[in-house]
Amino acid sequence: MISGYLDGLGMVLQLGTLLAIAGGTLLGIIMGSLPGLTSAMAIALLLPVTFGMPPVAGVGMLLGALCGAGASGSIPAILLNIPGTPSSVATTFDGYPMAKKGEAGRALGLAIVASFFGGVASMIILSLLAPPIAEFALRFGPAEYFSLSIFGLVIIASVAGKSLLKGLIAGLIGFFASTIGTDPITGVGRFTFNELSLLTGINLLPALIGLFAVSQVLKDTLEYDPHERVKESTHRIDIARPRFLETLRHWKAVVTGVLSGSVVGPVPGAGGSIASLVAYDQTRRFSKSPDKFGTGYAPGIISVESANNALLGGALIPTLALGIPGEAATAVLLGGLMIQGITPGPLLFDDQGGMVYGIFLAYLVANFFMLLIMCLGIKLFIRVLTVPRKQLLATILVFCFIGVYGVDGDVFNLYLMLGFGVLGYFLNRYDFGTAPVILGLILGPIAESNLRRGLQSFQGDWTPFFTRPISVTFLVIAIGLLALTLWQNYRAGKQVSASQGSGV
């Protein structure tokens, strides 16, 4: 193994390879910071470029894009309350409030360092434990996926905001929206209205951009008032620097993030989108001061961002160890590996010389480049906030259009985006929240299709959902967490009614 790493090191430590990784990382950072443009897009664009390169350089470039995009999603989430990918939704919960307090630089500094720690930790986990974790992921059948999605849906209670009932309604709206399209089991069209674009259902991306970016811009336009521009909250640029010590002080949040990313991230299909939400949920639940979450509290940012880059390592586990990509980005990456003649699977970990170690090291190097580029750019990112409001609003909308149109090239997605934008605006305004909608959209299809797939393959028998060990574990935890939330809510409700009137 040591000699393998030495061979791998030899492949990585070449000028061409290092430049390729740096270039990939830079492109990933740019793409990831624009709402809607995803790491999958960045990797696909780089794919033809990597053909002529030696394998480790080519794969390193693609991994750089993956890593860069994973980290830079936090930039718009923190500065503008706009998550560019589902996995940075949770970054907005504490990142944006902190930025609103004028500490955007601190939030970014925490996010960058947490991303870096998450990425490096997940690389270590990937290199040591990939095969056993991949085997664990294989034990997920319909029953386990169903229970996992129920476990995930309980998170709605955590992100619901003021009213649990309204948060639940928002989640159900998202879930209902996810049933639009061709039925996954029978193939019947549901609510498709003969629209070709709806045959495969509502795309997550336009919904996400609409619910978060467009709704936020609409809120800002409503509140737009050039007369009160001289507010006190001048953004301090001098505090914008990477925050190693502060991040380390919240090491528990880092560990929670890394664990969530590495355990939930490898589950194909579900993991990537919810790992960071799981991390946020767990960190908050086991925190001594859960009230501080949502107000710009450092551990909230740290756990989410470390989960965010740890889940990339997590997602690479089934991709490399089994050849099973979990979502779009790793699917493109898999294509890139295969074109290079690298066949992922258990054999990759056994032979092919230093190849697999070269890939690990390239991923590690990508994390360092990510840290470097983000640290150099941090003061630049903050300048976004000094752009005059009206120009900024117009520019955000222009980029939303590019993100939504650029990925699938379908104008229908723009209609969806605007529809979800208006819906999201009202949901936020009337305390329903938009994060539960996204959770419903992501987890709804997993819950529905796996319940029905399970019933189909168990021939109508419900018991396996409650007897298979992993499945029942998730269900028990889900019910426990739900009960805990209800109890906490009940107690908090009592306290509020005791001191009625303090209000919003």
- Quick one: which of 115, 13, 4 has its CA closest to 54? 13
Which residues in 20-49 contact other proteins (CB under 8 A)? 31, 37, 40-41, 43-45, 47-48
Question: From CA 193, how far away is CA 214, in angstroms rounded?
Answer: 25
Contact map string, positions 139 to 178, toward other proteins, x by CB under 8 A: xxxx--------------------x-xx-xx--xx-xx--
For residues 64 and 23, the answer to whether their CB atoms sit within 8 Å is: yes
All residues at 6 or more sequence positions from 424 whose CB lies less than 8 Å from its CB, including other chains: 210, 211, 212, 214, 215, 434, 437
Which residue among 128, 248, 380, 394 contacts other proteins (CB under 8 A)?
Answer: 394
Binders of other proteins: how many residues, by CB under 8 A?
117
Which is nearer to other proteins, 233 or 457 (by Cβ)?
Answer: 457
Output the smallest distance, CB 339 to other proteins, in A: 6
Q: Which stretch binds other proteins (CB under 8 A): 5-13, 92-100, 212-220, 377-385?
A: 212-220
Output the smallest distance, CB 7 to other proteins, in A: 22
Output the smallest distance, CB 61 to other proteins, in A: 14
- Quick one: which of 54, 64, 23, 43 has its CA closest to 361? 64
For residues 274 and 442, the answer to whether their CB atoms sit within 8 Å is: yes
Count other Cβ atoms within 10 Å, centred on residue 144. 23
For residues 215 and 89, the answer to whether their CB atoms sit within 8 Å is: no
Which is nearer to other proteins, 391 or 497 (by Cβ)?
Answer: 391
190 SS3 class: strand
Query: Does residue 466 belong to the site contacting other proteins (CB under 8 A)?
Result: no
Output the smallest distance, CB 371 to other proteins, in A: 24
Which residue among 107, 324, 355, 439 contacts other proteins (CB under 8 A)?
Answer: 324
- Cα–chain-centroid distance for residue 490? 31
Query: Does residue 429 belong to the site contacting other proteins (CB under 8 A)?
Result: yes
Which residue among 376, 409, 497, 498 contacts other proteins (CB under 8 A)?
Answer: 409
Q: Which stretch binds other proteins (CB under 8 A): 1-9, 112-120, 418-426, 484-492?
A: 418-426
Question: From CA 366, how far away is CA 266, in angstroms rounded?
Answer: 20
Q: What is the DSSP string of 37-83?
A: --HHHHHHHHHHHHTTS-HHHHHHHHHHHHHHHHHHTHHHHHHHS--
Looking from the CA of 220 toward its CB, the CA atoms found within 13 Å total: 20
Which is nearer to other proteins, 394 or 479 (by Cβ)?
Answer: 394
Output the smallest distance, CB 77 to other proteins, in A: 21
Which residue among 8, 83, 86, 325 contacts other proteins (CB under 8 A)?
Answer: 325
Output the smallest distance, CB 492 to other proteins, in A: 17
Which is nearer to other proteins, 339 or 477 (by Cβ)?
Answer: 339
Question: From CA 261, how far away is CA 37, in angstroms rounded?
Answer: 22
Contact map string, positions 62 to 101, toward other proteins, x by CB under 8 A: ----------------------------------------
Which is nearer to other proteins, 108 or 170 (by Cβ)?
Answer: 170
Question: From CA 13, how far away is CA 10, in angstroms rounded?
Answer: 5
Which residues in 214-243 contact other proteins (CB under 8 A)? 214, 217-218, 221-227
Query: Does residue 486 belong to the site contacting other proteins (CB under 8 A)?
Result: no
Say which DSSP state 181 is in: E
Which residues in 254-313 contact other proteins (CB under 8 A)? 268-269
Say which DSSP state 30 is in: H
Q: What is the DSSP string of 107-174?
A: HHHHHHHHHHHHHHHHHHHHHHHHHHHHHHHHT--HHHHHHHHHHHHTHHHHH--S-HHHHHHHHHHH
Query: Does residue 393 belong to the site contacting other proteins (CB under 8 A)?
Result: yes
Query: Does residue 449 belong to the site contacting other proteins (CB under 8 A)?
Result: yes
Q: What is the DSSP string of 333-392?
A: HHHHHHHTT---SHHHHHSSTTHHHHHHHHHHHHHHHHHHHHHHHHHHHHGGGGS-HHHH
Which residues in 44-63 contact other proteins (CB under 8 A)? 44-45, 47-48, 51
Contact map string, positions 179 to 208, toward other proteins, x by CB under 8 A: x--xxxxxxxxxx----xxxxx--x-----
Which residues in 326-355 contact other proteins (CB under 8 A)? 326, 328-329, 331-332, 334-335, 338-341, 343-347
Which is nearer to other proteins, 241 or 452 (by Cβ)?
Answer: 452
For residues 64 and 369, the answer to whether their CB atoms sit within 8 Å is: yes
Which is nearer to other proteins, 334 or 438 (by Cβ)?
Answer: 334
